[in-house]
Amino acid sequence: MTIRIRFAGIAAGFALASAPVVGHAQEFINILTGGTSGVYYPVGGALSKIYTDGIEGAKVQVQSTKASVENLNLLSQGKGEIGIALGDSVKLAAEGDAEAGFPQPLENLRGISAMYPNYIQIVASEESGIKTLEDLKGKALSVGAPKSGTELNARAILAAAGMSYDDLGQVEYLPFAESVELMKNRQLDATLQSAGLGVASLKDLSTAIPISVVSVPAEVAETLGDPYVAGTIPAGTYDGQDEDVATVAVINFLVSSTEVSDDLAYQMTKLMYENLDELAAAHAATSEIDVANALQGMPIPVHPGAQKYYDEVGVSAE
């Protein structure tokens, strides 16, 4: 199976509306996202506006985090109502994988919806000479924040290619924007970023210095298996990228917890699907969201509130 999308562009930003003044109890919604230069954050901003406009009495905020692993732990602790996370992180959280950042199984997590694929995007400076995964040996690579979803992806990709961090000359555990700044200053050879296509940090990098987008062969996806699939970064996604580049992808999920009421989960699910145009305006990666695929590959139980919406529109996991 190969995932491929046509990159359509990225909106300049998003506006966060104030919560409406109403006469009944206020509903608080904390949306857990990622770094401000990634894709999760603008998507969270779009959801914030949708929920503020659509849920009476809602006070909505967007929290920038270290993304998947932190989001899932915060949700489990009742410190967020909804968040975005990579499918492999969600699976490891449910199982309880200490090495991945989950000492105990997070049994109270509940799924809202499958969203869009994250593409593993390994971008090197042209002067580094890095063209393939093999070329990363002995080089300086940033693999994302420690125990982030991106960093878990990095470990998995290298292992499937018969490599480890020991093969690298230098490993940096940095968020997207910081990685790009080091590359601009010639202090880093490459960055691995797991995100939707057209991530702001890599667009910024590609306009600043000549880059090379590193290919990840389809056999790596085959070795990894579910939830990884083969994917393509289309030509023109970044400045100077003249050809399609093979890579692997993993689906993002919108996740909540048993702490969130069925009514709120229902409203958050329904409003998202009724306002997909607003999400697409925030970032083109979300154009992949399709209600028909909402339950496909869901690694945790579906929230009853979300399930109510899917029952209404005739969507099942099969």
Q: Which of 256, 259, 294, 278 is nearest to 51 (CA)?
A: 278
Look at residue 4 and tell me whether its pLDDT is greater than 70: no
Which of 228, 250, 272 terminates a domain? The answer is 250
Looking at the domain assignment, is residue 49 inside a domain?
Answer: yes
**Per-residue pLDDT at 145:** 86
Q: Which range (2-16, 114-128, 154-168) has the least confidence?
A: 2-16
Whether residues 76 and 146 share a domain: the answer is no
Average pLDDT (123-139) is: 97
Whether residues 123 and 238 share a domain: the answer is yes
How far, rounded to the nearest angstrom, does the alpha carbon of residue 218 sit from its chain's CA centroid?
21
**Per-residue pLDDT at 25:** 64
Host domain of residue 166? 118-250
Q: Which of 160, 18, 26, 16 is nearest to 88 (CA)?
A: 160
Whether residues 169 and 292 share a domain: the answer is no
Look at residue 230 and tell me whether its pLDDT is greater than 60: yes
**Per-residue pLDDT at 16:** 38
Whether residues 185 and 206 share a domain: the answer is yes
Looking at the domain assignment, is residue 172 inside a domain?
Answer: yes
Whether residues 259 and 112 share a domain: the answer is yes
The span from the CA of 121 to the CA of 192, in Å, is: 6
Q: Which tens digits make up the pLDDT trace of 62-101?
A: 999 999 999 999 999 999 999 999 999 999 999 999 989 9
Q: Which tens digits make up the pLDDT trace of 143-167?
A: 998 888 899 999 999 999 999 999 9
Beta strands in 215-311 (DSSP E): 228-233, 245-257
Looking at the domain assignment, is residue 138 inside a domain?
Answer: yes
The CA-CA-CA angle for residues 106, 111, 115, to 5°, reads 125
Q: Which range (27-31, 120-124, 196-200, 306-310) has the least confidence?
A: 196-200
**Per-residue pLDDT at 12:** 37
**DSSP notation for 158-218:** HHHTT--GGGSSEEE---HHHHHHHHHTTS-SEEEEEESTT-HHHHHHHHHS-EEEEB--H
Quickly state the pLDDT bin for 1 (edges 50, 70, 90): very low
Helix (H, G, I), strand (E, B) or coil at 62: strand
Look at residue 284 and tell me whether its pLDDT is greater than 50: yes
Average pLDDT (272-299) is: 94
Looking at the domain assignment, is residue 318 inside a domain?
Answer: no
- Could you give the number of structural domains in the chain? 2
Domain at 26, CATH number: 3.40.190.10
Looking at the domain assignment, is residue 80 inside a domain?
Answer: yes
Whether residues 196 and 212 share a domain: the answer is yes
Looking at the domain assignment, is residue 67 inside a domain?
Answer: yes
Which of 250, 268, 298 terminates a domain? The answer is 250
Whether residues 123 and 230 share a domain: the answer is yes
Which of 250, 277, 297 terminates a domain? The answer is 250
Whether residues 257 and 245 share a domain: the answer is no
Whether residues 152 and 182 share a domain: the answer is yes
Q: Which range (24-38, 65-79, 131-145, 175-189) has the least confidence?
A: 24-38
Looking at the domain assignment, is residue 180 inside a domain?
Answer: yes
Whether residues 42 and 111 share a domain: the answer is yes
Amino acid at 148: S
Looking at the domain assignment, is residue 230 inside a domain?
Answer: yes
Phi, psi at 250, each rounded to 5°: -145, 140
Look at residue 125 and tell me whether its pLDDT is greater than 60: yes
Question: pTM score, two decimals?
Answer: 0.79
Look at residue 24 and tell me whether its pLDDT is greater than 60: no
Whether residues 28 and 89 share a domain: the answer is yes
Whether residues 103 and 11 share a domain: the answer is yes
**Per-residue pLDDT at 318:** 66
